[in-house]
């Protein structure tokens, strides 16, 4: 009986941090195999990434992934709303609460569908639009010496 009480007390004492852990995890959260900066919920199973047949060793689409978890979509949406905000993503606007944008200008769409007790989550990142680069300045023009006929002939050819 003493052993039982001691083990119970030890569990309660040492298990307290685990019991008090944040419901959505912390920085030790598993992350996507495809988008390594995007977290996955504990228990979420990510679909195997599709490889590009034309370019061995490269992903077919490195900006999309799908994962499934047992539970409802409200739970999943709440998780991503909190986790993405912690990682610097902000909702695009009130009309698009499942689309997030980061300070790099990338967008991340989180679509979820709840069917038969399971939620399928589709994550789709759109890279920032490349800013147009200014045209390079024209190369300086070289003075032509028309007194040297060999140079003039080379330029004419």
Q: What is the pLDDT of residues 18-59, one digit of tens each?
A: 333 444 445 577 899 899 899 999 999 999 988 888 888 888
Cα-trace Rg, the chain: 28
Extents of the domains making up the chain: 11-126
Q: Where does the chain show beta strands of DSSP type E?
A: 45-46, 64-70, 90-93, 96-101, 107-115, 118-126
Instruction: Band the pLDDT of 115: cuts 50, 70, 90.
Output: very high
Sign of the torsion angle spanned by Cα atoms 76, 81, 85, 90:
positive
Q: Which residues pair with 68 in a beta bridge?
A: 45, 120
Instruction: Band the pLDDT of 85: cuts 50, 70, 90.
Output: very high
pTM metric for this prediction: 0.63
């Amino acid at each position: 009986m003493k052993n039982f009480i001691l083990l119970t007390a030890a569990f309660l004492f040492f298990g307290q941090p685990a019991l008090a852990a944040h419901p959505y995890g912390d920085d030790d959260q598993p992350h996507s195999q495809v988008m390594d900066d995007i977290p996955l919920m504990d228990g979420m199973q990510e679909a195997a990434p599709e490889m590009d047949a034309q370019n061995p060793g490269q992903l077919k689409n490195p900006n999309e992934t799908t994962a499934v978890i047992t539970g409802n979509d409200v739970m999943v949406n709440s998780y991503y709303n909190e986790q993405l905000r912690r990682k610097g993503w902000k909702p695009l606007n009130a009309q698009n609460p499942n689309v997030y944008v980061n300070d790099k200008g990338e967008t991340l769409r989180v679509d979820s569908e709840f069917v038969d007790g399971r939620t399928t989550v589709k994550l789709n990142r759109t890279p920032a639009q490349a800013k147009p680069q200014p045209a390079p300045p024209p190369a300086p023009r070289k003075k032509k010496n028309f007194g040297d006929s060999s140079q003039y002939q080379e330029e004419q050819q």
